[in-house]
Amino acid sequence: MEKIGFIGLGIMGKPMALNLIKAGYQVNVLSASNASGILKEAGASLIDNIAELSKHSDIIITMLPDSPEVKNVVSEVLEGINSGSLFIDMSTISPAVSLEIFTIMKDKGVSALDAPVSGGQVGAEAASLSIMVGGDEPSFNRALPIFQTLGKNIVLIGKPGAGQVTKACNQMIVGITIQAVSEAFSLAKKAGVNLSKMREVLLGGFAQSRILDLHGQRIIDKNFVPGFKVKLHKKDMGIALQTGNEYHVSLKATALVAELMGQLVKNGFGDLDHSSLALLQEEK
């Protein structure tokens, strides 16, 4: 098995790295990470810096918050990465930055994939993530056993950057649907309709969705403990809007929901689950 260097042991990265260790992979992580103790106990090797981690790994995986963090890490990865290695960024970042990274890595003799995921913390822990991949087929085939350890729905979308464009589209659909459910529940509540019964019947019809199922229940319960923080979803909506501008595509609903998410963050609710969009309906 190839050695994996995993950078970014947050709410998503930590369970993903643990699943790789459980599958028998030798995983290298940074000793400075807050989760390094847990990973070491599980069997990971601790390495002091990114350059050394890259030097001693065949495949490097990053799972970081945004484009700037990925670019900073890449600059250090390049100091140690070996020709013939594979770099996989599983963060959600700008497609343009993914293309930039692909070019930089290619110049170093390194293959690169953009492979953002959907499924949240639950999916990361259960190894049931949906993985949308941009890059060439040989690199995808090389990474496929790793992806199969982390997820269930794994698709090579197309050329470099295609995975990130797909993730942006995913986040648009999720965000807009959460807002739709929030508005529908707000209207029903004001009209005196039982939300639990409404949710039950709608789940049997054309309005059925995973958002209505899971986040509809969250809204009813007022349970906004984060599975995916609204401040991160706001960032993703910004990526979608930026990409829309690059391709001259009008994204009116995306812009509206991004603005509402920004309002939540401004109000101090950025660390709540993105289903907390429903809180803004209560203010109206």
Cβ-proximal residues to 193 (8 Å cutoff; 6+ apart), any chain: none
Both 201 and 130 in one domain: the answer is no
User: What confidence tens digit (pLDDT) does each residue in 95-142 have?
Assistant: 999 999 999 999 999 999 999 999 888 899 999 999 999 999 999 999
Domain span at 231: 165-282
| Contact yes or no for 155/161 (Cβ under 8 A) | no
Q: Which long-range contacts (CB under 8 A, 24 or more apart) does 169-172 make?
A: 169/240, 170/118, 170/132, 171/92, 171/233, 171/236, 171/237, 171/239, 171/240, 172/237, 172/240, 172/251, 172/253, 172/254
| In contact, 88 and 113? CB cutoff 8 Å | yes
Q: Which residues of 159-183 are buried (b: 16+ CB within 10 A; e: fewer)?
A: ebbbbbbbbbebbbebbbbbbbbbe
Q: Which of 159, 174, 208 is the last residue of a domain?
A: 159
For residues 17 and 155, membership in a common domain is answered with: yes
CA distance 225 to 235: 19
| Domain's final residue, options 159, 191, 221 | 159
**159, 186, 201: which is the final residue of a domain?**
159
The mean per-residue pLDDT over the stretch 167-171 comes to: 96
- Other C-beta atoms lying within 10 Å of the C-beta of residue 191: 8
Mean pLDDT (whole number) for 172-199: 98
Per-residue pLDDT tens over the stretch 231-243: 999 999 999 999 9
DSSP string of 66-80, one letter each residue:
SHHHHHHHHHHHTTT
The domain that holds 13 is classified in CATH as 3.40.50.720
DSSP secondary structure code for residue 34 in this structure: T
pLDDT digits (tens, 9 = 90+) for 239-264: 999 999 999 999 999 999 999 999 99
pLDDT number for residue 210: 92
CATH number of the domain to which 191 belongs: 1.10.1040.10
Same domain, 102 and 150: yes
Q: Is 167 a catalytic residue?
A: yes
Q: Domain check: are 152 and 26 in the same one? A: yes
Residues 206 and 237 grouped into a single domain? yes
174 near 199, Cβ under 8 Å?
A: no
Contact 157, 147 (CB under 8 A): no
Q: Is residue 167 scored above 70 in pLDDT?
A: yes
What pLDDT digit, counting tens, does each position of 62-79 carry?
A: 999 999 999 999 999 999
Which is nearest to 165 in space by CA: 190, 123, 135? Answer: 135
Residue 284 confidence (pLDDT) above 70: no
pTM: 0.92
Q: For residues 137 and 185, state if they share a domain.
A: no
Distance, CA of 264 to chain centre: 20
Mean per-residue pLDDT for 212-225?
A: 97
Q: Which residues contact 79 (CB under 8 A, 6 or more apart)?
A: 50, 51, 54
What does the CA dihedral 258, 264, 267, 270 come to, rounded to 10 degrees? -100
Structure tokens at 188: 């029903």
Specify the DSSP element, H or E, that contains 151. strand 151-158
Q: Which two tokens stand for residue 93?
A: 């970042």
Catalytic residue among 3, 55, 106, 167: 167
Query: Is residue 154 located within the same domain as residue 199?
Result: no
pLDDT score at 120: 85
Tell me how far apart the alpha carbons of residues 176 and 29 are, in angstroms, rounded to a whole number: 36
Q: Name beta bridge partners: 6.
A: 61
**Residue 208: both structure tokens together:** 């059925």
Per-residue pLDDT tens over the stretch 5-14: 999 999 899 9
- CA–CA separation, 13 and 90 (whole Å): 9
Assess whether 105 and 201 both reside in one domain.
no
Q: What is the mean pLDDT of residues 133-157?
A: 98
* Same domain? 118 vs 197: no
Does one domain contain both 189 and 144? no
Residue-averaged pLDDT of the chain = 96
pLDDT band at 274 (very low <50, low <70, confident <90, very high): very high
17 and 152 fall within a common domain:
yes
Scan for tokens 């029903």, then name that residue. Answer: 188
**Do 14 and 152 fall within a single domain?**
yes
pLDDT at 283 over 80: no
> How many domains are there within the chain?
2
